[in-house]
C-alpha cells in the first residue's frame, strides 16, 4: 500500500502545470448560454470582487495584479440567480501582457466554463448546443 501512495504522490508532482503569461483573465459568455453572469479571480486566500454582470455574447475581464507570479489562480463564474463554477484549468500566473480568456456556457443551474483549445470544434465536443433564448437575446444586443 505504501508503494502505491508513493507512486501516486510522485505522479502528482510530475504532472505539468499550465503556465500562461498574461495581465488579465477574462470570461466570454457564449451565445446559447442561458444566463447572465459575474466573474472573479481566486488564488489561495486572495479573491477579487465579483465583476459587474455581463450578458450572453459579452466578455468581462479582471486584472491578475493581485496574483503573485508562480502561484496558481482560478477564474470563477457565477450565473445570476444560479450556480457558481470554477473554470478549468487552474493556471500558474507568469509575467506577461494580454489576457487569458475562458468560455462559459450552459444553464443557470448547470454552469460550464473551460479554456478553449486549439481545436475549433471544442465547444461541440463539450455537448454545447445553443439555447434558443440565448440566441434570441444575442440578436437583440446593440452592435
In a domain, 12, yes or no: no
Each residue of 84-118: pLDDT tens digit?
A: 999 999 988 888 888 899 999 999 999 999 998 64
* CATH code for position 36: 2.60.40
The residues, ordered by sequence, that sit 6+ positions from 92 with a Cβ below 8 Å of its Cβ are 17, 18, 19, 20, 70, 71, 72
In a domain, 10, yes or no: no
Residue ranges making up the domain that contains 89: 17-140
The single residue listed with the C-alpha cell 466570454 is 28
In a domain, 83, yes or no: yes
In a domain, 68, yes or no: yes
Burial classification of residue 143, based on how many CB atoms lie within 10 Å of its CB (0-12 exposed, 13-18 middle, 19 or more buried):
exposed
With a threshold of 0.85, does the pTM exceed it? no
In a domain, 49, yes or no: yes
In a domain, 9, yes or no: no
Cβ–Cβ < 8 Å for 81, 43: no
Q: How many domains does the chain have?
A: 1
Each residue of 37-52: pLDDT tens digit?
A: 999 999 999 999 999 9
Amino acid at each position: 500500500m505504501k508503494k502505491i501512495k508513493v507512486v501516486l504522490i510522485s505522479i502528482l508532482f510530475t504532472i505539468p502545470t499550465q503556465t500562461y503569461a498574461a495581465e488579465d483573465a477574462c470570461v466570454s459568455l457564449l451565445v446559447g448560454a442561458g444566463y447572465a453572469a459575474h466573474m472573479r479571480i481566486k488564488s489561495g486566500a486572495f479573491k477579487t470582487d465579483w465583476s459587474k454582470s455581463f450578458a450572453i455574447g459579452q466578455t468581462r475581464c479582471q486584472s491578475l495584479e493581485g496574483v503573485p507570479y508562480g502561484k496558481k489562480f482560478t477564474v470563477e463564474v457565477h450565473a445570476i440567480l444560479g450556480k457558481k463554477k470554477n473554470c478549468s484549468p487552474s493556471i500558474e500566473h507568469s509575467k506577461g501582457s494580454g489576457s487569458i480568456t475562458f468560455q462559459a456556457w450552459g444553464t443557470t443551474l448547470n454552469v460550464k466554463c473551460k479554456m478553449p483549445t486549439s481545436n475549433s470544434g471544442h465547444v461541440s465536443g463539450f455537448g454545447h448546443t445553443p439555447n434558443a433564448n440565448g440566441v434570441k437575446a444575442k440578436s437583440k444586443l446593440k452592435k
